[in-house]
Structure 1
Amino acid sequence: MPKQKSKPIETAEETLIWTGISSNQTKAQKEFNDALRKHKETLERSREIEPLFQLVNETYINDVLPELEKQKKLERTRFELMCAILIEEKLSFGKMQREFLRRYLLEMCNDSMMEDSTFYGKYRDQLETKFERLERLRYKNQMESRIKNTFGVEIDLDDMNRTGFDSEEERESHEEKYREFREKYEEYRSDYFRSKGSQSNERKKTKSQTEKEKKILESERLLSTDINTLFKNLAKLIHPDKEQDPTLREKKSKLMTKLSGARDNMNIAEILEIKMQVDELIPNQQTDVSFQDTSIKRFVGIIKTKIRDLEDSIRQRFFSHPLMAEFPERKITKETLNTYLKRVKIDNQMVTQTYEKEVEQLTKEPKYIKEMIRELQSLGTQF
């Protein structure tokens, strides 16, 4: 491909790298311009998402978390009332009803033991059958014995897993008590996964895997060559030490810093955007560099990969937020987000109201628990 000077065209939206009459552009050049345009649009989308993410976070902190705290307290009160009705025999139950309620409450105990072992532990002792207690203790002793044989440390699993402490001093004392085991366990895990990784790497690679790796390495080598070519070409034009004009020197210095960072990160998209800025800054000394279509196609592939990575990072950041698990829209807008967050707030308020109603009903009329059991059974609750 003959050398061609890149002559940027100012438009209302952007400046393209390869310009001129459309029929004079190769297919690869057109694909590059399309990819670069999409890359810019994705970057802009990333900036648009930021205030929406802040809106989600503010809603979570100001509206949802307070409701969750209320629900947590109400759930514990509800649990205490249900246990009292069963254990103190305030009502008569059928055999199946009693067993269903006992197992339901015991499951709640086991699920919440890490939250407060002292509180839930006393209820677990009253709700467990003799056989269940023996099985739990047998398993606990078995695990503690295995830990002692593996790490040479004696521990109490029930005590080690507790999270409730009366003071910071008690918490620090607890951490110190089990520090040796935790350190040995982390070292064991690291060694285990390291050995697994080395075993995986030692497996004989298939012919297709070997060929794929060769292509990747060759592509990276060629890309490195292209980037260095463009870097050297641009660096000659914008090196600030060669500029006498103080205004231009400052601009060139900033561009040089960006260019060095882009080269170090192998960011071809950023380097080519810097090239446009250089062409605009010194139009009489435009960069005289051209690439074969094979190189341009590599640029396109890399930019498309960067677009996908950017889109994935946007989705990951947004949808990893605890409030966004059920967000239905693929395209996030302020309107759809406001509608969704409004529904989330209402749903959480309704959950709180349901707990409040159940606590009130259980306090006034203990027999309301039978209605709760029927509802849980109708939902197919299993233990």
Structure 2
Amino acid sequence: MHDLRSIRENPVAFDAALAKRGLEPQSATLLVLDEDRRSLTTRLQEMQSRRNEASKAIGQAMGQGDKDKAEALKAEVAELKQSMPALEEEERAKAKALNDALAAIPNLPADGVPEGADEDDNKEVSRWTVPRAFHFKPAEHADMGPALGMDFETGASMSGARFTFLRGQMARLNRALGQFMLDRQTGENGYTECAPPLLVRDEALFGTGQLPKFAEDLFRTTDDRWLIPTAEVSLTNSVREQIIDDLSAPIRLTALTPCFRSEAGAAGKDTRGFIRQHQFDKVELVSICRPEDAHTEHEHMLESAESILKALELPYRVVMLCTGDMGFGARKTFDIEVWLPGQDAYREISSVSWCGDFQARRMNARYRPEDGAKKTEFVHTLNGSGLAVGRTLVAVLENYQNEDGSVSVPEALAPYMGGLQKLEPMG
């Protein structure tokens, strides 16, 4: 959500920032709605004040024996009472229209974010290690996975497209990756492990920006709850409607959860394999911090995500997303893309985003800048994948594959695999 005061004070800058995202100017429409709402509020306050004055004056007039004046005042009070509900309803309608308009506008890009229309305009920041040179043609995971326990047919038969049934050693590797990531983020990178709800209400998804704009990408239950598309929703909303007294150190939270996405906006993309599923596991990272700590915290979160790929010795690159490719709630985003030799391409495995106070305003999450201070400010929120388990599984399969169809287990995962050093075709 955007700060109306800031828009009033500098509408030109607001529209210029939206233009970087390829959007038309919005300030004029917002300010008209705002002025109408404020005018109605002022009128209602004046009517309320006059009603109170007239009501008090009725008793005085009666005490002075001035019945005519008392009756006139009673008539005025009755008229005010009759006309106010319509104005109150109009004010509510104007306020809703203003809030709805604000809620549909994405966050403003931070300084230094490259301008562009789509992923072709993203800026590569760095690369880590050189991809392995194969002496045979590496296979895609969708082709080699079934022999190792990645059962696409059974998943699809019971649940439809974009569901997969993992068996035996493949299920063990998937579990090992999630546990390894969680242990690394909690043990070395300073995040607190959480076990949050997987079902949330409308206001939680509104707080993190998925609602109302992206409802079609979500799964809704029959009792009007939603399955989380990412643990970002649950973790970030843990400070909803709160005032944090001490935020001298960032609050760092992590969780390994199933995530659920309808992928309505990805029709036709990645229909083969395990890359884009309706249900998948992910280790999510969330930070709540002061504005002055946000830059450092963004870098820390990026390094925390990268540390998983480094430990698994998986080649990757980091790109800064351009204004046209950033998510709705982000001010600045780094994507980590892992190398997939079977596809001969880098593919996204994590997005690490700084949201500024955009989500905090929607959640009303604040902190006290100093101990005991009366004035509060909105927190800054950050989120990222640390990592997407399914996509990391794909990266391990493709990068550690052998010519005989087996897959070597990365050394970092050995403690989690019960002595299993290779995934072997099951025949």
Q: Which of the five TM-score ranges fits, normalised by the shorter chain? A: under 0.3
Larger radius of gyration: 1
Larger helix fraction of residues: 1
TM-score of the two chains, using structure 2 as the length reference: 0.21
Larger strand fraction of residues: 2
TM-score of the two chains, using structure 1 as the length reference: 0.22
